[in-house]
Amino acid sequence: MILKNKDTIYGKKIRLSRGFNKIGNIKVVKANGEKLTYGYDEAYQVHRYRKNGSFYVEELVMLTPDNPISYTLMDIIINTGKVKLYHHNPTRMPNIPFVVSDSFHGYVRNQSDFTRLLNELDKCDAFREKFSEKVQRSRMNLSDLLAFYNANCE
């Protein structure tokens, strides 16, 4: 686990918990048995292994801007640049894209959300020129669209 102050905490066991309407806690048990507790607002990323042994990184993201109670763990897809992309599975549904930027913060669940996001991205001339065809502007290409925007737009 990486804290917001950039310290790295190594543990053999990480447990997350949250009471109703409260900032959650992360409990870390180190290899020597020492137990540490951190609030969600103190942690930045959690690095873990799934049962099948695959490694993954999750980041604590606010579902609602400036609301620490809304911190939720999401899988990182794009974590560099002005626009960040996460995947979140709040239910048993497939992962839903979640975008964080200065101008758009939230899920891209449907065409309406995607259109609102595209309207923000279209403010960049390079983006608008590169993705002028309707077929290029698909929700299926969201990570490519955001990667281009991060690389070519300020």
Predicted local distance difference test score (pLDDT) of residue 95: 87
The arithmetic mean of pLDDT across residues 122-140, rounded, is 92
pLDDT reading at 91 higher than 80: no
Predicted local distance difference test score (pLDDT) of residue 86: 96
| 58 close to 75: Cβ distance less than 8 angstroms | yes
The arithmetic mean of pLDDT across residues 111-119, rounded, is 96
The pTM of this model reads 0.86
Query: How far is Cα 125 from Cα 10, in angstroms, rounded to an integer?
Result: 44
Query: How far is Cα 112 from Cα 108, in angstroms, rounded to an integer?
Result: 8
Task: Please give the angle made by the CA atoms of 76, 82 and 84, to the nearest 5 degrees.
Answer: 20
Q: Domain-by-domain residue ranges, the chain?
A: 1-63, 80-154
User: Cβ–Cβ contacts within 10 Å for residue 73, how many?
Assistant: 18
Work out the mean pLDDT of the chain and round it to a whole number.
Answer: 92
Query: How far is Cα 128 from Cα 149, in angstroms, rounded to an integer?
Result: 10
103 alpha-carbon distance from chain centroid: 16
